[in-house]
Structure 1
């Protein structure tokens, strides 16, 4: 029987590219969207799921299992961006992004684990970000949400290994998707002490996304992980310098690395 895959946030961007690629490889793919009825001519199945609503998560997972009799792979991809100086960003918006990028994926993991334990097999792939390996100026909260998911994955991976379940992270760099349109952007306030540098960096971030890599690279990376019997804990997918930035953070003194970042962001 073909493996059954659930991809959160499968209606656009990386999730859609991954789902379409895996469908063509013969997998039974279910993506999720908060409003699947509004999406026409989607290349694979969509079910309703809101990662901020536990009942919605439970219903979606139950629907897939009832239809297919099993659930082999979860790709936790749904997420959102946030930008802004930490001082200027409303705390309630920070909590909202943590709910979507961290607690949401955790709740989806909780929902699929009973079925995977029953099967004595399963694979959970959490889509994080290279930004989660470092505190990036004006993206600090986004970095924190993705870094938190990376660390939580390390823990749950050890907890569920005895049940035959594998858990891993895939951290993408900048990809050409519509994530910028779904970000929460802290306004560039006229009286803000960060006005000039924040606006410059906002423009830089959007340029990076627009000129990012093709999401098909993420699809190929995830396909390779699925076909690996014992996945590693962390994977990074992006251009050389994005991946190398993580190596530099590991080997350089903290202040030297900080200076490199500040120079890059013109701070």
Structure 2
């Protein structure tokens, strides 16, 4: 029987690319969307899930298990972007961001773990971000949520390994997806001390996404992890310099690395 793959955030972007790629490889794929009725021409079934709602997560997992009999692989992909000076981002937006990017993925893992433990097998792939390895200016909240999910992955990997369950993370760099359109942008406030530097950085970030890599690279990377009998805990996928920036953070003095980032963002 084909393995069953459950992808959160499967209606667009990386999630959709991964799902379509895995279908071509013969897997049985289920995706999630907050509004599946508004998604047209999906090549795999979409289940209604709001990752901020634990009950909707549990219901979706139960539906897939009842229909397919198992969930072999969870691709924990649902997430949103957020930008802005930390001083000016409303607290409600910060809280919502962590609900989607951190607490939601945790609840999805908690919902699927009992089934995987019953099966004595399972693979969970958490989609994080290269931004989670460093605090980026005007992306600090996003960096924090993705960095936290990296550490959750490390801890949970050790907690469930004895049950036959493997957990890993894949940190993408900039990919050409619609994440910028769905991202919360704190407004550039006229007269704010951040008006010029934040405005310039915002344009730079949108350019990076628009000229990003093909999401197919992420699909290929996830497929390779699924085929690996002993995957690593962390993977990075993206342009060479984006991945190399993580190495530089480990080896460079803090102030020098900070200066490098500020020069990159023209601050």
TM range (shorter): over 0.9
Unaligned ranges ≥5, structure 2: none
Q: In structure 1, how many angstroms separate the alpha carbons of the residues matched to 2:172 and 2:251?
A: 21
Q: In structure 1, how many angstroms separate the alpha carbons of the residues matched to 2:15 and 2:66?
A: 23
Q: Which moved more, 1:37-46 or 1:105-114?
A: 37-46
Q: Which residue number in structure 2 is paired with residue 185 of structure 1?
A: 185
Deviations 1:134-156 (A, max 9, x none): 00000000000000000011000
> Between Structure 1 and Structure 2, how many residues are aligned?
267
Deviations 1:94-116 (A, max 9, x none): 11101100000000000000000
Q: In structure 2, how many angstroms separate the alpha carbons of the residues matched to 1:76 and 1:42?
A: 18
Q: In structure 2, how many angstroms separate the alpha carbons of the residues matched to 1:117 and 1:43?
A: 29
Q: Which residue number in structure 2 is paired with residue 2 of structure 1?
A: 2
- Report the TM-score, using the length of structure 2 for normalisation: 0.99
Q: Which residue number in structure 2 is paired with residue 194 of structure 1?
A: 194
- Report the TM-score, using the length of structure 1 for normalisation: 0.99
Q: In structure 2, how many angstroms separate the alpha carbons of the residues matched to 1:14 and 1:64?
A: 21
Aligned 1:75-154 pairs, distance under 5 A: 75-154=75-154
| Cα displacement (A) at 1:41 | 1.7
Unaligned ranges ≥5, structure 1: none
Q: In structure 2, how many angstroms separate the alpha carbons of the residues matched to 1:99 and 1:106?
A: 10
| Cα displacement (A) at 1:45 | 1.3
Q: In structure 2, how many angstroms separate the alpha carbons of the residues matched to 1:229 and 1:48?
A: 31
Q: In structure 2, how many angstroms separate the alpha carbons of the residues matched to 1:49 and 1:108?
A: 10
List, as ranges, runs of 4+ consecutive aligned residues in structure 1 with deviation greater than 2 Å.
none
Q: In structure 2, how many angstroms separate the alpha carbons of the residues matched to 1:126 and 1:132?
A: 12
Deviations 1:143-182 (A, max 9, x none): 0000000001100000000000000000000000000010
| Cα displacement (A) at 1:29 | 0.2
Deviations 1:84-136 (A, max 9, x none): 00111111111110110000000000000000000000000000000000000
Deviations 1:29-52 (A, max 9, x none): 001001111212211111111100
| Cα displacement (A) at 1:81 | 0.3
SS at match of 1:116: helix
